[in-house]
Amino acid sequence: MLTLLKQFSEKRFAWFLLALSSLALESTALYFQYGMGLQPCVLCVYERLAIIGLFIAGIIGLLAPKSFIVRLIALILGLFSSIKGLLVSLRHLDLQMNPAPWKQCEFIPNFPETLPFHQWFPAIFNPTGSCNESQWSFLNLTMVQWLVFIFAVYIAILTILFISQIQKGRKQRRLFN
């Protein structure tokens, strides 16, 4: 099973799927903001950045999927992005499910001074909403609950792919040579 997954990760199609799925999620977020008028909060902006990290991981994997080092870099970036995205989504979910006056998110993103994404790309990374309010739901799950699920699925898939890269192949025993 792991050998098949490793072979699948050596094909461009696997990395194309990662890039395409994350691009679809980012496009959906922008549609919610500009098409439906939903206002993103600071944590939404951080979740968007995690999804962009997954997109970049997919692009890196697309560059040279046969190269072990390139696959490893793409998988590490993808895992890092999805784990950070899950942690932010869980914090966001906690703020929505257990609102309290002392539990608030900041109004301005806390990006490093050398990477002020909210100033460079305000159309994507400028927060204008509140973290405590849920503005959208589908199948009785809020947007943040969907993100927790999505990031958990990314983590599961990327972890299995990572394990398939580092496990040594078992040699088949032959009864007759």
Count of C-beta atoms within a 10 Å radius of residue 121: 12
Q: Which helix (H) or strand (E) holds 166?
A: helix 143-166
Count of C-beta atoms within a 10 Å radius of residue 105: 19
Residue 147 makes CB contacts below 8 A (sequence gap 6+) with: 47, 85, 89, 92
Beta bridge partners of 141: 138
Which positions are annotated as active-site residues?
41, 44, 48, 105, 131
Between CA 14 and CA 16 the distance in angstroms is 5
